[in-house]
Amino acid sequence: MSELIPFPEKEEQLLASGTRKLLAHDYLAAKKDFEKLYEQTSTFDHVQLLVESYRLLGDIERALYYAEEYQAEYLEQEQTLEKYLHLLLLDEQYLTVHRLLQQYPNEKVQRDLLLLESTQDLIGEQTYLVKESQLQLWDQQRLPILGNQWHQWLKRLSLTRFVSLARAYLVRSQNPFLSPKLVEMLLSCGVKETIFVKTIANQEVDIDLSKLQPLAQTPQLQLLLKLIAEKWENDDPQMAEAIALEAQAQLALLYPVLPEITAIPDWAQSYHLEYRAMFGDEQATIQLEKYPEIQEIKQILREIYQELF
């Protein structure tokens, strides 16, 4: 009786077939095999093959679509980190690469980034003017910037050009939703300069970025949320959540010029009194008169959000 010849599993067949086609530069056929392989078993090893086939086909957007699902895995090792960052460079996401290099330094990618940025600055004057025009339009609209719009605007901008645009804009800004985004991007890209920012109260304030923290890490926001939780969480968790959300939204518009840390207990108390007053506590309404400056700022912030509706 003849022996049965074992056939490789379907997964092994797809892996061998796709790899063979990839080596033969038949990238489209390889991509189809790797898509089937990834559908069968979604692993980091398999997604790397699929991403590579898309890269070789020149479909960087699709390559990044899959790679970003495994961003944490790509960032774990230097070899895969370089592959991921080079995908971002091919997609002209220079600022995103700057941001990631702050956390995951890589000299080779840093050199490639600076070279590409230099080239972009030499040939991209028209791109710069378009970006500047879009920034002015957003400023006039005074609306939040949608995620994809912001993502597309950041592409093809070198850090030098971005800093130039941000510096010029922040001292004359009219859109309260835009200034915090610009400042946080400067901060995440490792910019350490002193910048000038126009506040909600139309004052010009200098901000040393080397001493600035992201909003979520600021002692002001952390203390405010802590005090709100202590005051409301046991008695009314839903109210605590509602107050915390409003406080966080308001400080997001004030950022990077937040209240002094010593003023935060008064801010927390003002929220507490406001919500008591909403339920008919006349004494709370009277006590709110102790915080006229805080209430004036909060009224400005509330009007900004109300304009959206």
Say how far apart CA 239 and CA 243 lie, in whole Å.
6
3-state secondary structure string, the chain? CCCCCCCCCHHHHHHHHHHHHHHCCCHHHHHHHHHHHHHHCCCHHHHHHHHHHHHHCCCHHHHHHHHHHHHHHHCCCHHHHHHHHHHHHHCCCHHHHHHHHHHCCCHHHHHHHHHHHHHHHHHCHHHHHHHHHHHHHHHHHCCCCCHHHHHHHHCCCCHHHHHHHHHHHHCCCCCCCHHHHHHHHHHHCCCCCEEEEECCCCCEEEEEHHHCCCHHHCHHHHHHHHHHHHHHCCCCHHHHHHHHHHHHHHHHHHCCCCCCHHHHHHHHHHHHHHHHHHCCCHHHHHHHHHCHHHHHHHHHHHHHHHCCC
How many CB atoms are closer than 10 A to CB 79? 9
* Cα maximum dimension of the chain: 99
Strand pairing partners for 208?
194
CATH code of 10-91, in short, is 1.25.40
**pLDDT mean across residues, the chain:** 94
pLDDT given for residue 9 in this prediction: 78
Predicted local distance difference test score (pLDDT) of residue 237: 86
Q: 163-167, 175-179, 199-203: which range is least confident on average?
A: 199-203
pLDDT at residue 7 tops 50: no
> Rounded to an integer, what distance in angstroms lies between the CA atom of residue 204 and that of residue 307?
24
C-beta separation of 166 from 186 below 8 A: yes
Q: What is the pLDDT of residues 104-128, one digit of tens each?
A: 999 999 999 999 999 999 998 999 9
Q: In which residue are the tokens 């927390």 written?
A: 268
CA distances, 225 to each of 5, 83, 145, 219, 247 (Å): 67, 40, 26, 10, 8
- pLDDT at site 142: 93
What pLDDT is attached to residue 279?
86
Question: Residue 1: which pLDDT band, with cuts at 50, 70 and 90?
Answer: very low
Ramachandran quadrant class, 198 (left: phi over 0; alpha: psi -120 to 50; beta: rest):
beta
Distance CA 93, CA 75 (A): 16
User: Which of 188-202, 222-236, 288-302 has the lowest average pLDDT?
Assistant: 222-236
Mean pLDDT value across residues 140-145: 94
Residue 234's pLDDT is 76
Residue 241 tokens, joined:
């959540």
Q: What's residue 85's pLDDT?
A: 98
How far is residue 269's CA from residue 288's CA, in Å, rounded to a whole number?
9
Beta bridge partners of 198: 204
Query: Any idea which residue has 């941001």 for tokens?
Result: 99
Show Cβ contacts of residue 60 under 8 Å, excluding neighbours closer than 6 positions: 54, 87, 90, 91
Q: Count the neighbouring beta carbons within 10 Å of the beta carbon of residue 296.
A: 11
